[in-house]
Structure 1
C-alpha cells in the first residue's frame, strides 16, 4: 500500500485574522467541530516572529513580501524563494494585517511562529530598528527532551546489548551493505557530539548547519554541536555509530550524518527552525532526514485556525520541496498515547505559554512534521514487540513501527552510552534503514523508498498495550504497527 494521503491547508488564503475558502483548506470534515481558537498576543514593543507565505513560489512575489515587511517597520530574517516563505520579525502589534495590506496581493497567509517573544533576538547582520535586544520574553514552560534516559558510560563494546538491531535484522542487512559514504542522513535535532568516538568520523561537517538563530542557517561547529541536550547524539548513534571496536554499532555505519540543529537551548523547535532544517537538507543533497520531535509550540497545528495555519503551511512547503530534491523523511509519531486518526481534544499547547489551552481539535490539526505527506510516521514498540505504552497510534496514520523502548545509544556525557525511550528512538531506526535502502538502491526516489519500506515491513497482528485505545485493523495494516515492523534485511536484499 502506498503512503497515505493527508490533506493540509496547502491552498488556504488567510490574510490578517480572516479565513477565505476555509472549508476546502482546512482538511476537516463537515461534521467535525471547529477547533478552539488560541489567540497569540504580539503586543507593541515585543519582538515577535512570523512566517509569510506568498501565493506562489515566485521571486517577484517574495520581493513584494520582503518590501512589505520593511515598509511596516519589520525586518526580513530569512527568505526561502524556492517555496515562497519569508521569516520576519516585528514589534508592531498589528503586523499581520499591515504587511498583508502593503504586499500588493502577493501574500497568501501570515502567522506567528510562537506565543512568546523571540528569546534569541534578531540575528547578527540583520539591521533591526529596535537593535539586537532579546525582546520581552514572557516566562515559558521549558520543553524537555521528547524522551528521557538514564546515562551509563562504558568503553566496552556493547553491540550484544543492542536487542533492537537484532529485532529488525540489522546484522543480516550488514552482510549486504553497511551503507554508502555517498549517502547522508540529516539528523534534525539538538546537535551531534563532534567528539564522541563512535560519531567523530561519521559527521559530514560541510553539510552540518545550525538553524536556531531565528531560522537563519549558520555553519560551523558552534552552530550545530549540542549545548543543552544529548537527544540528537542519542538519535545519531542509532542511525550511524561507527563499527570501530568501541561502544555500539549503528544501522548504517558506512553512511554519513549531517548535524542539523533545530532545537534551541530551551528545548523548543519553532516552525522557522524546522523550515530551515528541511530546506538545508534539500539544498545540500541529504538523502534522508530523521525528525524525532514535533514543531512547537503546538502539538497539533490546526488548519482551520488563521493563527496556526500559516506556520503549518510553511513547514509543509519545506517538506514538499526537499522531498522533490530527493530527500526522504522519517519522523516520530509522538509520545502522548494519542490516536492520530481520531483527534478530539488537546491540553498541551501552546507549550511555550505560561498556561497551555485546553482545546477542541479536529482532523485539520496536524502533528508536524510526522503527519505531512511524504513523511514516514513511526510508532514505538518494546522488546516484546508490543506497542510502547507512550506511543501515538492511529489506523491510516502510522506507516511502520520500530523499537523505541530502552534503546542503548551514544550520549554526550563522558562520551558514553545510555538508554532512552520514546518514538524519538524508534524513528532513527527507520532513518537508518532508509539509508541502507538508498545505499543499495541509489536510483530510488523518496516515493519508491517509502512504498518499498512499507511493503517489506513485517506484518504484525494487533497486540495489547497497557495504555491507550484498542488496536484496530488487520495484520497487514493496523493502528499500532501500520504496515508492520521495519525490516532492514528485507529493505536491502
Structure 2
C-alpha cells in the first residue's frame, strides 16, 4: 500500500484538479500560439495583354485580380502587368482570361510575400527624380514587406564564367569579389587603344554631357571618385523589386549580394572621369543613369528587367547597357508557356525603348556556344538551392534575353590580340559586334581594369565588359549625331574593320569620329 500511495500521491484532487487542468490548457494554448504558422509561398508572374496600350494593361491587371492574384506593377505603356499568386493554377486561369495573350511565372524559387511598393518620403519622388510616366502605376498593397527571406548559400558546384560569377544564390560578396588592383593612374590601356579611344582621341563632343547611358545591372557606386560626377541621381533608380524605387541611393549596389560590384565596373568602362587618376572611360563626360536590377537573392528577374527598360526609356536614355541575362533560365524557350510570356514581355519593353530612341546593347554571353545549334543547359533554373537540375536540350528557338531580341546589339569579346575570345557565344541572328573583353587567364594587364565599389579598381573579363565599351562608343556617336536613330547609331558603330580572329568576319567596334 505504501508503495502504491507513493506512486499516486502527486495527482491533485477536488478543486486542485480543476486548477491543474486550467494550467494545462493555458500552457497548451501558449505552445500553439508560439508555433510558427506556415505562410503560403508566392510566385511572380508576367501577364501580357493582347493590346500594348493602357487599355491592354487594364485587361492584364483585371485578369490578375480575377484569378485571385495580388497585383504588382502595371506597365500601361506596353500592356503588361505583374502578378503574385500562391495557387499553381493561377497562370492557366489568367491565360484563359479575355484580352490576355500570354502569362507565365518568372521564377521557380518562391517569395514569402510579394514585394511591397517602395516607400518614399512624403511629398517626394526621390532625390529630385524626374517624374515617371506610363509604368509602375497601380497595383495592390500586398501583405508584409519586401524581400525573399534570408540570404541563401550558392548551390554546390556553381561555376564562375569569365568576369561574371554564376548567380545561384546569395553569398557574402567578400567571398567571391575579385582582388583589387592598384590605382592605374589613368595610364594608357590596350582596350581603349584598340577601339580608338583614350588619351590620343580628340576632345569630347559638346553634346556628351547631355547624353544618357542607362547601366542596367547590379547597381552603381556613385560615391566612387571616378563616377561621382557621371551618375545622374535624377535618372537613377532601383528596379530590384519589379517597381521603380527612387529613394536616394537605391541604385547603389548591395554589398552582401553576390556579384554586386559588376555594375560599378561596367559604369567605369563607359564613363569614368578623365581626371589623372584611376581610369578613364570610353566616354568620360557622358551621364550615367544607374538602374539596379539585381534583387536581394542575387537574380536579374524578368519583371525587374521590364521595369528597368521602361524607366530608362522614359528618362532620356540614348543607350541602354545590358550586361546580364534574364534569370532564372539561361535561355528562354517559346515552347514553354511561362518562358514564352517572359519573352513577350521583355520584347515589348525593348521595343518601347527602341521607339523612344534608345540603342539597346547587350552582352552575348560567356558560354562559347553556337546559338544556332542544339545545345545543353545544365544550369537552369538558377534560383533553386539544392536539388537536381535536369539537363535541357535546347534548339535555336531558345534565346538569351535580352541579347537575342530584335534590334538588340549583341556584343562578343576580344582579347588584347584582337581575336574573338573562345568564351564568347556566337551564331545568333541579328546585329552583333566585337569589342575588348579581355582574357581571364592573362592577368590584370590582359583584362579590363575598371572601377569597383568603395573607391577601388578591379580587373575582369567577359562579354559584359565588351558591351560596356560599345555603350561608351555609342554615347560618343549619339553626342556627335544627336538626330541619329538607334539603327543609324548601329550602322555607325559597325563601320570598323573585321576581326582577323573571327571566321565569320566579326565586326570590331570603332569609335565614331
Q: Same fold (TM over 0.5)?
A: yes
Cα distance in structure 2, aligned partners of 1:98 and 1:341:
35
| 1:177 alignment counterpart | 204
Once the two structures are superposed, the pairs formed by residues 467-482 of structure 1 within 5 Å of their partners are: 472-473=503-504, 477=505, 481=506
How far does residue 44 in structure 1 lie from its aligned partner after superposition?
A: 9.7
**Conserved in 2, the CA contact under 8 Å of 1:190 and 1:262?**
yes
**Conserved in 1, the CA contact under 8 Å of 2:181 and 2:459?**
no
Residue 408, structure 1, aligned to residue 439, structure 2: no
Task: For residues 439-473 of structure 1, give each alpha carbon's deviation from its aligned partner in whole angstroms, at most 9, with x where no partner exists.
Answer: 1100000011112222x121223x2xxxxxxx543
Cα distance in structure 2, aligned partners of 1:183 and 1:133:
34
| 2:508 alignment counterpart | 485
Task: For residues 301-323 of structure 1, give each alpha carbon's deviation from its aligned partner in whole angstroms, at most 9, with x where no partner exists.
Answer: 00121121001110010000110
Once the two structures are superposed, the pairs formed by residues 446-461 of structure 1 within 5 Å of their partners are: 446-454=486-494, 456-461=495-500
Aligned counterpart in structure 2 of residue 203 of structure 1, from 204, 222, 231: 231
How far does residue 267 in structure 1 lie from its aligned partner after superposition?
A: 2.2
In structure 2, the CA distance between the partners of 1:44 and 1:65, relative to structure 1 (3 Å rule), is farther
Aligned counterpart in structure 2 of residue 423 of structure 1, from 445, 448, 463: 463
Residue 227, structure 1, aligned to residue 254, structure 2: yes
Cα distance in structure 1, aligned partners of 2:297 and 2:144:
23
**Conserved in 1, the CA contact under 8 Å of 2:58 and 2:79?**
no
Report SS of the residue matched to 1:222. coil
**Conserved in 2, the CA contact under 8 Å of 1:74 and 1:128?**
no
**Conserved in 2, the CA contact under 8 Å of 1:116 and 1:138?**
no
TM-score, normalization by structure 2: 0.78
The runs of 5 or more residues in structure 2 that have no matched partner are 1-37, 119-138, 166-176, 439-446
TM-score, normalization by structure 1: 0.81
Residue 332, structure 1, aligned to residue 363, structure 2: yes
| 1:212 alignment counterpart | 240
Cα distance in structure 1, aligned partners of 2:419 and 2:357:
33
How far does residue 221 in structure 1 lie from its aligned partner after superposition?
A: 3.1
Cα distance in structure 2, aligned partners of 1:197 and 1:138:
30
Cα distance in structure 2, aligned partners of 1:289 and 1:428:
10
Cα distance in structure 1, aligned partners of 2:261 and 2:208:
26
| 2:291 alignment counterpart | 260
Report SS of the residue matched to 1:203. coil
In structure 2, the CA distance between the partners of 1:173 and 1:189, relative to structure 1 (3 Å rule), is farther
The answer to which of 423-432 and 343-352 deviates more is 343-352
Residue 88, structure 1, aligned to residue 83, structure 2: yes
How far does residue 172 in structure 1 lie from its aligned partner after superposition?
A: 7.3
Cα distance in structure 1, aligned partners of 2:179 and 2:93:
51
| 1:378 alignment counterpart | 411
**Conserved in 2, the CA contact under 8 Å of 1:401 and 1:485?**
yes
**Conserved in 2, the CA contact under 8 Å of 1:402 and 1:429?**
yes
| 2:106 alignment counterpart | 113
Cα distance in structure 2, aligned partners of 1:157 and 1:135:
41
How far does residue 75 in structure 1 lie from its aligned partner after superposition?
A: 1.5
| 1:444 alignment counterpart | 484
| 1:307 alignment counterpart | 338
| 1:20 alignment counterpart | none
Radius of gyration: which is bigger? 2
User: Please, what is the CA RMSD of the aligned residues?
Assistant: 2.5
In structure 2, the CA distance between the partners of 1:140 and 1:96, relative to structure 1 (3 Å rule), is farther
**Conserved in 1, the CA contact under 8 Å of 2:231 and 2:287?**
yes
The answer to which of 382-391 and 289-298 deviates more is 382-391
Aligned counterpart in structure 1 of residue 43 of structure 2, from 33, 42, 48: 48
Report SS of the residue matched to 2:240. strand
The runs of 5 or more residues in structure 1 that have no matched partner are 1-42, 464-470
Cα distance in structure 2, aligned partners of 1:208 and 1:138:
26
Displacement over 6 Å in runs of 4+? 135-140, 142-145
| 2:191 alignment counterpart | 164
Cα distance in structure 1, aligned partners of 2:112 and 2:508:
41
Cα distance in structure 2, aligned partners of 1:312 and 1:247:
39
Report SS of the residue matched to 1:96. helix
